[in-house]
Amino acid sequence: MAQETAEKGERIAKRMARAGLCSRREAERWIEEGRVKVGGRKISSPALNVTENDAITVDGKPLPAAEPTRLWRYHKTRGLITTSRDELGRDTIFDRLPKGLPRVVSVGRLDVNSEGLLLLTNDGGLARKLELPATGWVRRYRVRVYGRPDETALARLASGATVDGVRYGPVQARVDRAEGSNAWLTVSIREGKNREVRRVLEHIGLQVNRLIRTAYGPFQLGRLPKGGVEEVTGKVLRDQLGADVAPPSDRRAHRRR
């Protein structure tokens, strides 16, 4: 039976995430909903350690074996929701991914009106790790705004900002060019809170009308076509993450179906 101490095995939510079934947060919710059994017994708390010898089922099906960590770059388009399903029936990124891609989770989110680089992985534990501000990775965006940027106001964002009671960390922003009543900015953040770029810029009087993420840490959007998916090579994963990876059979970019 599963060991309930930290001396052996790993937390069951982490084990589920490593199987690529879901994120750790989703795994904890599934456990609380009574969807997970260990050794034939339903569990209700994620405070449980398991080993490779434990028989784990989710919704009556055996938990898949943990696979080597893999990571993909994906060019998200506007109008898609970054979630596995949407209560309003809107299209999600998972509805548009190419056939043949294994079950993946996203590293963070881009809201429905945002586009650009989104990282996907088969390892929910890795996704959670890369989302944490402690990772220190810069998220970089090209942002088109309505209004005339004030250089002094933009410079003040480097010290962070408080908007509607929410404290945001340092934001680096510079003006690239102006186009009539609009301007293009390059914006860099490290926290990635919900709608952070939009809210901080609106706070200084700029209305965001287009937002494209161009980089997430060392990973770049580059020339990946809209809707395209390209796997990150094992060497890059090892160099950047120290991940336990296996070489995939096909590194070519995939275009949206």
Lowest mean pLDDT segment, chosen from 89-103, 156-170, 236-250: 236-250
- Within 46-131, strands assigned E span 49-50, 56-58, 61-62, 71-76, 105-106, 115-121
Q: CB burial class (10 A; 0-12, 13-18, 19+) of residue 99?
A: exposed
The residue among 191, 220, 196 whose CA lies nearest residue 208 is 196
| pLDDT tens digits for range 20-66 | 778 788 899 999 999 999 999 999 999 999 998 899 999 999 998 87
R_g of the chain, CA atoms, integer Å: 20
pTM score above 0.85: no
Q: Assess whether pLDDT exceeds 80 at residue 249.
A: no
Structure tokens that stand for 13 in this block: 């939510």
In the annotation, is 91 catalytic?
no
Number of H helices, E strands in the chain: 7, 17
At 243 the pLDDT is 54
- CATH code of the domain occupying 10-62: 3.10.290.10
Do 169 and 133 meet the contact criterion of CB atoms below 8 Å apart?
yes
Which helix (H) or strand (E) segment holds residue 231: the answer is: strand 229-231
User: How many whole angstroms separate alpha carbon 125 and alpha carbon 256?
Assistant: 26
Mean local confidence (pLDDT), 155-175: 96
Domain extent listing, the chain: 10-62, 71-119+223-241, 138-216
Q: What is the DSSP letter of 167?
A: E
Backbone torsions φ then ψ of 234, nearest 5 degrees: -60, -35
CATH superfamily for domain 138-216: Alpha-L RNA-binding motif (3.30.70.1560)
**Could you give the angle at the alpha carbon of 20 between the alpha carbons of 13 and 68, nearest 5°?**
110
- CATH code of the domain occupying 71-119+223-241: 3.30.70.580
**Could you give the angle at the alpha carbon of 112 between the alpha carbons of 128 and 119, nearest 5°?**
35
Q: Write the Ramachandran bin of 57: left for phi over 0, alpha for psi from -120 to 50, otherwise beta.
A: beta
Same fold, 71-119+223-241 and 138-216: yes
CB contact burial 59-83 (16+ within 10 A = b; e otherwise): eeeebbebbebbbbbbbbbeebbbe
Catalytic choice (86, 111, 239, 250):
111
User: How many whole angstroms separate alpha carbon 10 and alpha carbon 15?
Assistant: 7
- Rounded (to 5) percent helix, strand, coil in the chain: 20, 30, 50
At 211 the pLDDT is 98
Q: How confident is the model at residue 250 (pLDDT cuts 50, 70, 90)?
A: very low
